[in-house]
């Protein structure tokens, strides 16, 4: 089964949106495999966003991500990487439909409150980076209620 890395960014944590974001993934039927509140180092964030290091917004992105603690999660489920991105909305919140997390709670790209892995490969890399001690594995009776 596929897993993805979802992170509530510092503005989302400070605005008290952690529960709201967790609730949406729980309600959809996805399974929580890891959860942590932490204050990452600059080096850790530069690693997480290494693909974007040449972008003009990279320094402001890192400063934004250093502005407070983040809440990182690993979620498991069928097609969870792509579905998770759909649930977050577009990178630019103003282009995000109502009903998505960014479309309901954010306005600007540099304050878009959440992160989601963009592919199965980056999800594997990101889960390994943020949860170096591993993630949970367990069965739930919800499985037969959520999947055919």
Active-site residues, by number, are: 115
Q: Pick between residue 53 and residue 140 the one whose CB is nearest to Mg ion.
A: 53
Nearest distance from residue 90's CB to ligand UDP, in Å?
7
Q: Which residues contact 27 (CB under 8 A, 6 or more apart)?
A: none
**Where in 84-143 is the site for Mg ion (CB under 5 A)?**
118
Angstrom CA distances, 128 to 3, 20, 43, 44, 120, stand at: 11, 25, 15, 12, 12
| Residue choice 19, 59, 99, 110 for contact with ligand UDP (CB under 6 A) | 110
Per DSSP, helices labelled H in the chain are 10-14, 18-28, 42-48, 58-65, 80-88, 101-105, 120-130, 143-146
Q: How far apart are CA 15 and CA 89, in angstroms?
A: 18
x/- letters, 51..70, toward ligand UDP (CB under 6 A): -x----x---x---------
> Any idea which residue has 């600007």 for tokens?
108
48 binds, options ligand UDP, Mg ion, none, Cβ within 5 to 8 A by partner type:
none
Nearest distance from residue 86's CB to ligand UDP, in Å?
11
Residue 109 as a binder of ligand UDP (CB under 6 A): the answer is yes
End-to-end alpha carbon distance in the chain: 14
> Any idea which residue has 């959520």 for tokens?
146
Residue 91 as a binder of ligand UDP (CB under 6 A): the answer is yes
**Where in 31-50 is the site for ligand UDP (CB under 6 A)?**
none
Nearest distance from residue 43's CB to ligand UDP, in Å?
17
For 57, the 3-state DSSP assignment is coil
Interface contacts to ligand UDP, rule CB under 6 A: 52, 57, 61, 91, 109-110, 112, 115, 118
């Amino acid at each position: 089964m596929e897993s993805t890395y979802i992170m509530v960014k510092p503005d989302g944590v400070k605005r008290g949106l952690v529960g709201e974001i967790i609730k949406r993934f729980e309600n959809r039927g996805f399974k929580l495999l890891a959860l942590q509140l932490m204050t990452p180092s600059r080096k850790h964030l530069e690693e997480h966003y290494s693909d974007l290091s040449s972008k003009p917004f990279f320094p402001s992105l890192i400063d934004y991500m250093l502005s407070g603690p983040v809440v990182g999660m690993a979620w498991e489920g069928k097609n969870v990487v792509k579905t998770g991105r759909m649930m977050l909305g577009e990178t630019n919140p103003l282009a995000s439909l109502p009903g998505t997390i960014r479309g309901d709670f954010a306005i600007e790209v540099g304050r878009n409150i959440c992160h989601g892995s963009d592919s199965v490969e980056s999800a594997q890399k990101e889960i390994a980076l943020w949860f170096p001690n591993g993630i949970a594995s367990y069965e739930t009776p919800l499985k037969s209620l959520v999947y055919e």
